Structure 1
């Protein structure tokens, strides 16, 4: 394995993190990955192997977003930290701080530890939701990296607020802290692409619910899509390209609706036709269902929204060629069948 300093990847059990680790290993980097519990290390090794990479150069340390212990050891001797760890619940919590606090405080813990260790650059996994919910924007607005969500909006979910608050806290920290590392931020859209194991992301869990017939009908919402393999490549490019310092990158290609996801699932797996959603619900019905189904509350801000967005910066500055939304969703569905999860 190479003798260069390891790249630190936080939240190693997450889908994006696993793909980032694989991409780093593929490019010849050693990786130090953080976990909340060391008993998850073998799961990450298996995922890296599934990506066709040798996990021998991946080491693990224990560090929790809600505790100071472990972070100095985690980042010591590294020039680059990729911070992916942040909660993404399929059901919104009763207490918003259950997701806001670990997202914000964890991000600041990582940045403070990186500053103490002299880390050169931190790449933060934010989200397109930290961009897409501004206030007072005109009809037809084309979203880009210059937009920020207004986290004071009353209609936002705790998850949207958590990603926005965490990213804004990160930018404020590097702006106001002498000796802070450079910061680059990746804002991925709705993440699709291949799952690697049974520890499913929230976006992949959606297909398992559809495959069980949980949703005979779905809300009329559309969202920008991105393949997790492109998200991983974006993180690695942002880690090492000089021009990425101080930049945000909105990563997405195309848009699909929930109903479209079900149609792709049926196209690829015809045996699930009877289980897939049959029609789209009127918005008023979705709002009524959200009173009793917390999963519905997650998508309420999407009703009636059509988000046009620009991805030119990511393509130009990170050299990315992004997979189509259909390719990303197809890969997600096929991977879940290969893993015998749907």
Structure 2
């Protein structure tokens, strides 16, 4: 399991441990090991959890880390809160990290790799009609108007599938998980970049909701999808769009408000978003998506992996409750 300290990876580890698997997780620094072990021990018996130190940008340690593994879940990938000065700061480590994981897994005779990609590698940079439904057959257009993050996910996933066509891949199989915005309960004070939306709605840092929407998925469904894609025969060589209901930011705010949180439920005019973007680099990231809605099919997720996504209410409120629990926020209540 790469990126073991991450939001998604933590839930993937919990699922694996509770299914009886021994898990070897990678960390950027072994100084993180005890904190991760402590956090996950509240949800699973961690006696079969061990750690290794790996870097997406370095060859050191990858082959040793993969030895003896039956499966690899490659979850690690950079996901910033702000746009990088140079897009290659995201693209290169994402691509090279994926190839390092695959090369090491193939040499270790791993049966299957499950790689975490994103719907950012599926439905961006295209000018389709509003009623177009994106599926696993679609790819984002690298020549289109893509963020550095979307480019990094697209390039990394394409590189992974290209590797699988080479002799070096051997008999190893690949499945790819493409989540939307990942919400749901935290296992520690660390949270995903997607979760910053919930935090901002609760801590008073946004006075109203911009016209930004997301195809959302609960982190527990993401972990379940990684597990099912790992063990199901049908998942070999397949991609999976992981999305539940589409939600505008104001929809999430309304669910939080119905749970007693004083989340703002006014709409923020688009011109105000552009003004705020002058001062806030995080806001600048969302400007391109104002008022735009893209729809993704989750038919393959439901039919092949037998996963029915949780509701926007469940994933939003559970994230809020865990943010309070771990001291991320001290929200105002109604």
TM-score by length of 2: 0.93
Between the aligned partners of 1:193 and 1:306, the Cα distance in structure 2 is 22
**3-state SS of the aligned residue for 2:194?**
helix
Q: Deviations over 1:3-29 (max 9, x none)?
A: xxxxxx000000100000000011111
Match of 2:2 in 1: 10
For residue 278 of structure 1, report the CA deviation from its aligned partner. Answer: 4.6
Match of 2:161 in 1: 171
Match of 1:88 in 2: 79
Q: Determine which of 256, 277, 302 is the counterpart of 2:264.
A: 277
Match of 2:13 in 1: 21
Between the aligned partners of 1:203 and 1:302, the Cα distance in structure 2 is 14
Query: How many matched pairs?
Result: 328
For residue 217 of structure 1, report the CA deviation from its aligned partner. Answer: 2.3
Between the aligned partners of 1:177 and 1:236, the Cα distance in structure 2 is 26
C-alpha RMSD of the superposition? 1.6
Between the aligned partners of 2:95 and 2:277, the Cα distance in structure 1 is 27
**Is 2:185–2:319's contact at 8 Å kept on the other side of the alignment?**
yes
Mapping of residues 33-44 of structure 1, within 5 Å: 33-44=25-36
Match of 1:4 in 2: none
Q: Deviations over 1:52-91 (max 9, x none)?
A: x100100111111010001011111112100000011111
Between the aligned partners of 2:311 and 2:198, the Cα distance in structure 1 is 19
Match of 1:306 in 2: 293
Match of 1:157 in 2: 147
Between the aligned partners of 2:260 and 2:60, the Cα distance in structure 1 is 46
Residues 1:255 and 1:139: Cα distance change in structure 2 (over 3 Å): closer
Residue 56 in 1 paired to residue 44 in 2?
no
For residue 260 of structure 1, report the CA deviation from its aligned partner. Answer: 2.2
Match of 2:190 in 1: 199
Residue 291 in 1 paired to residue 278 in 2?
yes
Q: Deviations over 1:72-124 (max 9, x none)?
A: 11111112100000011111111111211111111111111112222121100
**Is 2:5–2:27's contact at 8 Å kept on the other side of the alignment?**
yes
Between the aligned partners of 1:55 and 1:158, the Cα distance in structure 2 is 36
Mapping of residues 80-159 of structure 1, within 5 Å: 80-153=71-144, 155-159=145-149
Between the aligned partners of 2:168 and 2:265, the Cα distance in structure 1 is 56
For residue 134 of structure 1, report the CA deviation from its aligned partner. Answer: 4.3
**Is 2:125–2:146's contact at 8 Å kept on the other side of the alignment?**
no
Residues 1:178 and 1:129: Cα distance change in structure 2 (over 3 Å): same
Structure 2: tracts of 5 or more residues without a match: 330-334
**Is 2:130–2:293's contact at 8 Å kept on the other side of the alignment?**
no
Between the aligned partners of 1:184 and 1:121, the Cα distance in structure 2 is 7
Q: Deviations over 1:205-250 (max 9, x none)?
A: 3333333321112320111111100000000111111110100001
Match of 1:3 in 2: none
For residue 44 of structure 1, report the CA deviation from its aligned partner. Answer: 1.7
Match of 1:254 in 2: 245
Residues 1:290 and 1:156: Cα distance change in structure 2 (over 3 Å): farther
